[in-house]
Amino acid sequence: MSEQKGMFGASGTGDTSGYGGLERSSYSPTSASRPYGSYFDDVADELEKAFPEFSDAIEKVVVDRGELTLHIKRDRLFEVAKTLRDTETLRFEVCLGVSGVHYPSDKDRELHAVYELLSMTHNRRIRLEVSVSESDPHLPSLVEVWAGTNWHEREAYDMFGIIFDGHPALTRILMPDDWQGYPQRKDYPLGGIPVEYIGATVPAPDNRRSYR
């Protein structure tokens, strides 16, 4: 995470804290080493067994606050997800959604997509994290693996501009269709956006976005 000068993100304006001179060093979670503890070793072992290119696909394994996070290369995301769902000993049959996080200072890995997985069979949870750059924000869509990620991926696209390749209809979901920008990115301001509905023109049906 970012090296920060001055607290609370206040810059150029009145510092609310009196701590404007403080600096906070950057944070990046450290890779965990074996044994991970809890059921995490089991999950890692089984995944390694079921997915031979494990070491090539996983960038980092983080164990923090009793939660396991697998950082995965985006090219391998789809295969890993499918393996996690289909392997009997893993069986993460529920994906609870996609949460985007924007780290502007994480060069070439600015946008992170975080997937929370749940295995009802084994009563376990893990988290997948994939990072892409702002200039090439493409990720494979996981709608084929977990149909429930459909709206969640649309939300991550709407708010962060992450493009999920292979999504059946990747359109804005919460913001209006013609909205400019991605509101939950860190460089997007809070408020100050003129909102105008009265007098807005509605495009003809043939000019509107198309559902497939």
β-pair type (163-165, 111-119): unpaired
DSSP string over 145-210: T-TTHHHHHHHHHHHH--EEET-TT---SSS-TT--S-TTSTTSPSS------TTPPPPPGGGS--
Provide the minimum distance between the beta carbon of 44 and another protein in the complex, in angstroms, as a whole number. 19
16 to 75, contacts with another protein by CB under 8 A?
16-17, 19, 24, 27, 29, 64-67, 69
Q: How far apart are CA 146 and CA 164, in angstroms?
A: 14
Q: In this structure, what token pair is assigned to residue 170? A: 């990747």
How big is the site for another protein, counted in residues (CB under 8 A)? 53
103 to 142, contacts with another protein by CB under 8 A?
114, 116, 118, 120, 123, 125, 127
162 to 201, contacts with another protein by CB under 8 A?
172-176, 183-184, 190
Q: In this structure, what token pair is assigned to residue 19? A: 């701590």
Which residue from 129, 105, 101, 113 is spatially nearest to 9, judged by alpha carbons? 105
Quick one: which of 32, 94, 163, 168 contacts another protein (CB under 8 A)? 94
The H or E element containing residue 43 is helix 40-50
Provide the minimum distance between the beta carbon of 148 and another protein in the complex, in angstroms, as a whole number. 3
Provide the minimum distance between the beta carbon of 189 and another protein in the complex, in angstroms, as a whole number. 10
Q: How far apart are CA 80 and CA 140, in angstroms?
A: 11
Residue 206 binds another protein, judged by CB under 8 A: yes
Binding site for another protein (CB under 8 A): 1-2, 4, 7-9, 16-17, 19, 24, 27, 29, 64-67, 69, 93-97, 99-102, 114, 116, 118, 120, 123, 125, 127, 146-152, 155, 172-176, 183-184, 190, 204-206, 211
